[in-house]
Structures are given as structure tokens and as C-alpha cells.
Amino acid sequence: MYDRGSETSNPSEQTVQLLVAAGRAADSLMTDRLSGHGLSPLHRSVLRTLAELGPHALPDLATQTGLPSADVSQVTDVLSSQGLVQVMVVNIGGRQEVVTLTPAGAAALASVQDDMKSVQDVLLASLTKGERTQLHYLLRRVCATAARARGVQS
């Protein structure tokens, strides 16, 4: 959590520390809410990808989520055992396992999305609707710049 007493007097360092503190708080709240559903951020990522993009073969799902194939396989096994996804074997041009979202998975994702809205409301309670919109816009720009900076350093 953010510790006001450990602030540096350097404004640049303060900004970075504040971004880190806000990220940690958001991550902690999100993880707590997900665990209440018996899910992790990886589970959420797979469910969201399937909801947005439809059924996927396991390797394609790994590519779309940016997760290692082994992690996606483990996550889909867990989600399948919970009835949130269905894994089907398809033999078109070779054997492939295709993962689809079940109605229970769609319902679980909707519930998780409600929880994420609740996390946002907790974190941004002191901001007006206009400030929230502005913060969203600014954070998108910061994250885009961060992604480009990572690409340059690699």
C-alpha cells in the first residue's frame, strides 16, 4: 500500500511511486475479488478472451492471452472441471483441442466484471465522473507509451 511517509521529494520519483502503489492496490483488490469466485487473473484472461473472440485452439488461445501454452492448458483444465469452458477435440488438418466458453463461464465472467467495476468504484471513489474519464484516457496513453518503451529496450 501507499505510504505517504516514505515519499521522496523528487516529483518524478513520486509519480512513479504513486503509479506503483495504485497498481498494487488495484491488483490486490482484483485478486481478492477473483479468488472469491475461485478464479485467478489467468482464469479471467482466458474467459475474457473466449467471450470476446470466440472458440480457440489451445495454441491460439495462448497467443491471444500472451500466456505460455502450459499455463493456458492448466487454466483450461481447471475451468473445464468447473464447467466454465468446454474442451473439444477436433480433427481438421490434425488433432486440435478447441476451447469454448459455456453459459456458466459467461455468467461467471459477467459476475467477475461486476466485481471489477466495484474495484474501480472503490479505488476511484474520490474522483468525479469527468475525472474518471480523464484518468482512463491518461492511463491508456501512459500504458501505450510504456509498451513502446519495453519494445525499444528489448
- Asked whether the whole model's pTM tops 0.85, one would answer no
Mean pLDDT by 10 residues, the chain (154 residues): 60 87 91 90 94 94 92 94 93 85 96 92 94 94 89 63
Cell of 112: 467477475
pLDDT for 97 equals 87
| Domain 40-123 of CATH type 1.10.10.10 | yes
Residue 43 contacts by C-beta under 8 Å, 6 or more apart in sequence?
34, 75, 78, 79, 84
Q: Helix 58-65 and helix 69-81: axis angle, to 10°?
A: 110
